[in-house]
């Protein structure tokens, strides 16, 4: 209840003010519209478009409001620019970027966006000229160097691409992306000494980088440094990013050279063990490891290695064949018969491919 004192005061207030006071005193809150009202300007529409894109992640609504901004003011360059970014891969994006540059040719962001659109539209020659000019006006934008280097590389001008990346390093300092990209280019043009320096720089930051390890291993092999070469190969074999097919190819190539095999037995044993450990469910990895044991005279260990894989879902008829061959070599006819029967039971349609021999 309002007191008499306040009741008398209310008589002297405007009627709408009294209503608000009464509503609040009763616990009722008036609904206030906090949504800004469209004032019909291009700036308002542009601001709404930015909010739709950045706050609510609503690209469709953002595009709609940018178009409204342009309808209200066709010279609103920022809206043209934002449309080019939002519709980056559409055919209209080039037109939008071009219009933004026409309206403000001093804006470096607008020009960079137009250059990107030239690349996307397949106009590499024009983009090459454009980015060379842009680089003079905007020498501190790393992406301009990156795009220009990529364009030179695409045009099969790797030395020009390397020169651009060198210039970027001088002006902006070395970045991880720059060094990695230059490393690939240096390798392509067989500038191995420079590639090695970049690889060392990468490995200082990431000791497990596969590309850098490959470069260092290849350089050591070219220099005839077996110990250094195998050191990098061991590290490569420990990296899951380095494909198993590559590891198998390297291992088979190294073990094919008997003299190299003898000189570096312990290193090659480490490689074989690494393959077996890193790929426990791969028959190919097991086969490489077991054959390594056979080549080095550890026949019994090789036999147990093959037998240990029989319960693995990836076991093959070849697994039984290797067991049968070794048991035959060891003159164990009962074991040969046992594993031959097991193979036939498991692969009844392929038993004719099985080779059974017992050495006397």
Average pLDDT of the residues in 139-144: 92
Examine the fold and report which residue of 306, 326, 343 is the final residue of a domain before the chain moves on. 306
| pLDDT (0 to 100) of residue 315 | 86
| pLDDT (0 to 100) of residue 32 | 36
Are residue 297 and residue 322 in the same domain, yes or no? no
Assess if residue 339 is contained within a domain.
yes
Contact 127, 151 (CB under 8 A): yes
Q: How far is CA 78 from CA 3, 43, 82, 103, in A?
A: 59, 10, 6, 9
pLDDT at position 51 over 60? yes
Are residue 331 and residue 293 in the same domain, yes or no? no
Name the CA dihedral angle for 16, 21, 22, 25, rounded to a multiple of 10 degrees: 160
pLDDT at position 8 over 80? no
Q: Give 29's pLDDT tier (boundaries 50, 70, 90).
A: very low
Q: Give 353's pLDDT tier (boundaries 50, 70, 90).
A: low
> In percent, how much of the chain has pLDDT > 70?
87
Residue 143 in tokens: 């992406």
| pLDDT (0 to 100) of residue 333 | 86
Assess if residue 250 is contained within a domain.
yes
Assess if residue 178 is contained within a domain.
no
Annotate 145-161 with b (16+ C-beta within 10 A) or e (fewer): bbbbbbbbbeeeebebb
Burial class (CB in 10 A: 0-12, 13-18, 19+), 130: buried
pLDDT at position 9 over 90? no
Q: How many domains does the chain have?
A: 2
pLDDT at position 243 over 90? yes
| pLDDT (0 to 100) of residue 349 | 67
Assess if residue 33 is contained within a domain.
no
CA distance 312 to 326: 20
Residue closest to 67 by CA, chosen among 89, 85, 32, 42: 42
CA distance 356 to 251: 29
Average pLDDT of the residues in 157-164: 95
Assess if residue 200 is contained within a domain.
no
Are residue 339 and residue 284 in the same domain, yes or no? no
Assess if residue 343 is contained within a domain.
yes
How distant is the alpha carbon of residue 197 from its chain centre? 23
- DSSP state letter for 16: H
Assess if residue 302 is contained within a domain.
yes
Assess if residue 227 is contained within a domain.
no
Q: What is the pTM of this model?
A: 0.67
Q: Give 224's pLDDT tier (boundaries 50, 70, 90).
A: very high
**Enclosing domain of residue 300:** 243-306
Within 13 Å, how many C-alpha atoms sit on residue 341's CB side? 6
Cβ count near 218 (within 10 Å) = 17
Are residue 300 and residue 333 in the same domain, yes or no? no
Are residue 298 and residue 320 in the same domain, yes or no? no
Q: Give 359's pLDDT tier (boundaries 50, 70, 90).
A: low
Contact 135, 148 (CB under 8 A): yes
Mean of all residue pLDDT scores within the chain:
86
Examine the fold and report which residue of 288, 306, 324 is the final residue of a domain before the chain moves on. 306
Q: Give 1's pLDDT tier (boundaries 50, 70, 90).
A: very low
Are residue 299 and residue 321 in the same domain, yes or no? no
Examine the fold and report which residue of 265, 285, 306 is the final residue of a domain before the chain moves on. 306
């Amino acid at each position: 209840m309002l007191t008499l004192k306040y009741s008398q005061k209310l008589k002297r207030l405007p009627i709408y003010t009294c209503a608000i006071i009464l509503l609040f005193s009763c616990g009722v809150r008036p609904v206030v519209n906090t949504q800004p009202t469209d004032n019909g300007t291009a700036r308002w529409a542009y601001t709404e478009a930015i909010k739709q894109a950045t706050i609510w992640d609503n690209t469709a609504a953002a595009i709609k409001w940018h178009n409204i901004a342009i309808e209200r003011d066709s010279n609103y360059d920022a809206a043209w620019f934002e449309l080019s970014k939002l519709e980056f891969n559409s055919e209209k994006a080039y037109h939008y970027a071009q219009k933004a540059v026409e309206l403000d040719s001093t804006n470096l962001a607008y020009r960079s966006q137009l250059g990107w659109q030239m690349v996307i539209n397949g106009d590499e020659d024009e983009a090459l000229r454009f980015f060379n000019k842009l680089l003079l006006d905007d020498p501190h934008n790393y992406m301009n160097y990156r795009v220009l280097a990529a364009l030179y590389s695409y045009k099969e001008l790797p030395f020009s691409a390397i020169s651009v990346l060198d210039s970027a390093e001088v002006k902006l300092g070395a970045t991880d992306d720059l060094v990695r990209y230059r490393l690939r280019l240096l390798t392509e043009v067989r500038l191995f000494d420079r590639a090695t320096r970049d690889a060392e720089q990468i490995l200082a930051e990431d000791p497990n980088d596969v590309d850098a390890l490959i470069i260092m291993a290849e350089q050591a092999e070219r220099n005839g440094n077996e110990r250094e070469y195998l050191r990098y190969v061991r590290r490569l074999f420990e990296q899951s990013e380095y494909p198993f097919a590559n590891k198998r190819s390297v291992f088979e190539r190294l073990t094919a050279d008997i003299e190299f095999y003898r000189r570096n037995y312990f290193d090659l044993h480490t490689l074989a063990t690494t393959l077996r450990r890193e790929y426990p469910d791969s028959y190919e990895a097991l086969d490489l490891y077991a054959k390594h044991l056979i080549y080095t005279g550890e026949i019994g260990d090789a036999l147990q290695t093959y037998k240990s894989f029989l319960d693995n879902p990836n076991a093959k008829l070849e697994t039984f064949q290797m067991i049968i061959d070794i048991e035959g070599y060891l003159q164990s006819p009962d074991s040969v018969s046992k594993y031959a029967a097991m193979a036939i039971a498991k692969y009844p349609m392929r038993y004719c491919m099985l080779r059974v021999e017992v050495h006397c």
